Structure 1
Amino acid sequence: MDVSKLLEDVKDIESFLVFARALAADRTASVVQEKENSSSPYGPDANGWKNTTIESFLESAIAWAEASDFGITQGLSLSNPWKQFAVFLYCGKIYE
């Protein structure tokens, strides 16, 4: 499962839900991997998860949205709000 590839394909409610399910599965897989073999406390968890609590996930997603005008400064189109929200969720995973 390549979550970043699915992110690129988000264009409507169906593709958004495919992405959201994959992101949830990616987090579940990360938790399982971390239980089996913990990552360094100085880097991201398995599968690149930098924000592992709901608080840090939401804080990072909001920070990205504020810093990028919800992706507008990064080239995201207002005509595709599904992709904007998908990127918002993805940035909860990776943005610091």
Structure 2
Amino acid sequence: MRGTQKGEDPSGLREALARVVDERSFVDFLHALACDWSVAPSPSDWENGSIGAFLDAAAAWAEASKNGLRFYDVPTNPWRRVADMLIAGKEYE
């Protein structure tokens, strides 16, 4: 699966994120996140390619978004909120 086109979602990550509502769907999302990492052509395809940078970005985004953002409303479901934090760890600069 390496070498996929940019914008494709071979891991189903976006679909898994959209379905997060409870512990089971959160675990499914974690599996999709791990799959997304493994199918990335290189770690640089993630904004944050080390575990330290990933966790730092997730925490920074969590702080920045705790009251919502222009295009982000804080969900009432805590499972979804944590999933949002983790996806930010992949993408937030």
TM-score by length of 2: 0.78
1:57-96 equivalent positions in 2, closer than 5 A:
57-69=54-66, 72-73=67-68, 74-78=72-76, 80-96=77-93
Give CA deviations for 1:3-48 in whole Å, capped at 9, x if unaligned: 1121011000010000001101110111xx23xxxxxxxxx833xx
Which is helix-richer, 1 or 2?
1
> Of 18, 40, 46, which residue of structure 2 is paired with 1:8?
18
Question: Are 1:26 and 2:36 counterparts?
Answer: yes
State the partner residue of 2:3: none
Larger Rg: 1
State the partner residue of 1:40: none
Q: How many matched pairs? A: 80
State the partner residue of 2:44: 45
State the partner residue of 2:4: none
Identity %: 40
Helix, strand or coil for the counterpart of 1:50?
A: coil
Give CA deviations for 1:42-90 in whole Å, capped at 9, x if unaligned: xx833xx110001110111011001011xx4121223x10001111111
Find the aligned partners of 1:82 and 1:66 in 2 and give their Cα distance: 17
